[in-house]
Chain A
Amino acid sequence: MLEIKNLHARIAEDETEILRGVNLTVKAGEVHAIMGPNGSGKSTLSYVLAGKDDYEVTEGEVLFDGQNMLDMSPDERAAAGMFLAFQYPIEIPGVATMEFLKTAMNAQRKARGEAQLSIPDFMKRVKEAAGHLNVSMDMLKRPLNVGFSGGEKKRAEILQMSLLEPKLCVLDETDSGLDIDALRIVSDGVNKLRGPDRAMVVITHYQRLLDHIVPDVVHVLSKGRIVKTGDKDLALELEKNGYADYVDAAA
């Protein structure tokens, strides 16, 4: 589903290279975890996948269902099934959450040539998804993410993901800021979306998320490269020993 080949990317503004040859293949139905020290380029990788133009790809390619994803605009990628749950979801004052959800869902449907959702159908979907994720209707009445606590923002991201039903889910530190109960609720929400036609890339620092969302493959990203790949036991080992062994290898 996702093939990243020798991806090099730099910050457009000052040309600092952040990704230095990332190779990663994620097949439909798989869950991959990416771990790695602060500043190693995990969020940058997720932004490059989503199409943020602060970053410039200088080499390599990204194929999404065989299509060259780097040629697509962020909204085209989303309509094609790419979803990024942001590490730091942004507050957008003045944009009502419900209005935003409806606009986003219908925009994607339109891009895919599907019919617009009726209001009752839309409401039903939102209520159902919000119920599962313990997101109150009161939160949904507020402007998008405005005044949401850190954990509420993360839950709102997963709510959006559930409603948009993407093929490829990239979760950037969705666990940070969540309390123990919320972590379980959010993980359950994510696990519900697991399926043979969907792939996930889960960026995290902590093994505890991977207890809930058990990955098929674990990668270590260091200094803009994947320096180690293993199964779920790699996460346990990292938890115990830290990154020292791998970080040096990347230098």
Chain B
Amino acid sequence: MNASVPIKHTQAESDLIGRFEAAKGVLTGSVAVTALREAAVSQIRDKGLPHRRVEEYKYTDLRAFMKSAAPLAAAADESAVKAILGGQDAFGGLERYRIVVANGAFLPGLSDVEALASEGVSVTSLTGELAGEHGAQLLASPKSAANDGVLALNTAFVQGGVVVKVKEGAEVSRPVELVHVAASAGAQVSRNKIYVAKGAKLRLLETFAGETGAGELNIVFDYDVADTASLVATRLIVGQSDTARLITSIATIGAQTEFKSLGFIAGPRFIRNQQFINFAGENSNAGIYGVTMARDEDLADQTLIVDHAVPHCNSREFFKTVLDGRAKGVYQGRINVAPHAQKTDGEMMTQALLLSEDAEMANKPELEIFADDVICAHGATSGQIDEDLLFYLRARGIPEDEARTLLVLAFLAEAIEEYGEDDVTEGLEARVRDWLAGH
């Protein structure tokens, strides 16, 4: 295809280009940030939204899915945010700190800023930082996804977010929930930078509340985990929503670090959860877990690239997907091992359970290995509920629905248990049950 021939824009693409012009006044930032925004919108103008002929979006055609693009959400009304937060509580009684980003902007008044400060955690608004001299660095793309279309959409329209810094050696005593609230309709675009300094420990909970109406949700979490630090990020993307949920993680992890993440997805109509993880220091461990449930016409995409750029690191990727109705699940996972990244240990597994004839799973685990002294493996399975197991449970008097539920829970529990954050994942069984019951 010749790049100089202009593409014919879809309605959504025209909307996005118009949105950019209309929002120029609110999309602040340094000169360099503005240049990045311009470049990103040019990418959308020239190449359009990511579509199925782009390899990374082969199964997840955002261009076909997005029929239009609503304007960016206006600033949130605090009382509306409070009402939404009061009405849904993703982690029940779990003791935790909270950071609130609503309609793309940090709300310090609703966040536990002082309590976090006393634990060695500072939280500031991304908007302010984007105007500063290092603003553009906050929008850096990962090497493995330099031209990603979802990231371009984020860069062009990022409204705000938070910059969280956990200071050296601080072990934050409670999990920190970073909740994104859609307090009114409109696209919500935010980016969050999380620094975990040397020896520090943070457990992050990433949740999403409220309704964006016709607007898309595009959120980036950019983690910087310094040497000997630890970060555990549990992401819960639940509840119904008819527009695209586009969530990206970027992780740069130093030497001797522990990094773990769980992406739990149940409900949205169209979700892309993508993660770009880069080992930048030796002797580190990463555990990337995923639990996905989709039904009806839903599409749920878990995509990740793990870059073993240095020697002596271990990564484990373990993803479980349950599909019903005509839902489509996507797993694209790639482990890259650089030529000098000897002694890499990577083990990737993706397993799908199909509850209906029409559900479809695209499993694409890949290894790209350029070093010779490594242990890497990958596997993928896709199957139905085992009728013999079902019969055994029913023969003991357990009705069919409950027996199926038990088997689905058992299937998913393998990943959740290996993830191992029991206090955080305690409520997930109830969510799986809810989802199976059709809620």
List residues of chain A with CB under 8 Å of any chain B CB: 50-53, 73-75, 77-79, 84, 86, 89-90, 92-95, 100, 103-105, 107-108, 111, 143, 160, 164
Contacts and interface: CB of A to CB of B under 8 A. Distances in A.
Contacts of B410: 92-95, 143
A180 to B, nearest CB: 28
Interface of B: 388-389, 391-400, 402-403, 406-407, 409-411, 413-414
A143 B397 CA distance: 18
Contact of B394 (A73, A86, A105): A73
A77 B391 CA distance: 12
Contacts of B411: 94
B409 A79 contact: no
9 contacts: A53-B391, A74-B394, A75-B398, A78-B394, A78-B395, A93-B410, A93-B414, A103-B406, A143-B410
A104 B389 contact: no
Contacts of A164: 396-397
A86 B392 contact: yes
B397 A75 contact: yes
A243 B165 CA distance: 81
A84 B393 CA distance: 11
B389 A74 contact: no
A89 B389 CA distance: 10
Nearest to A99: B406
A104 B406 CA distance: 11
Instruction: Give the 8 A-B CB pairs with smallest separation, nearest first.
Output: A94-B410, A78-B397, A108-B397, A74-B394, A104-B396, A75-B394, A95-B410, A107-B397
**B388, B395, B411, most chain A CB atoms within 10 A:** B395
A164 B396 CA distance: 8
Contacts of B388: 90
A89 B393 CA distance: 11
Nearest to A50: B395
A52 B399 CA distance: 14
Contacts of A77: 395
B379 to A, nearest CB: 16
A50 B397 CA distance: 11
A93 B406 CA distance: 11
Contacts of B396: 75, 78, 100, 104, 107, 160, 164
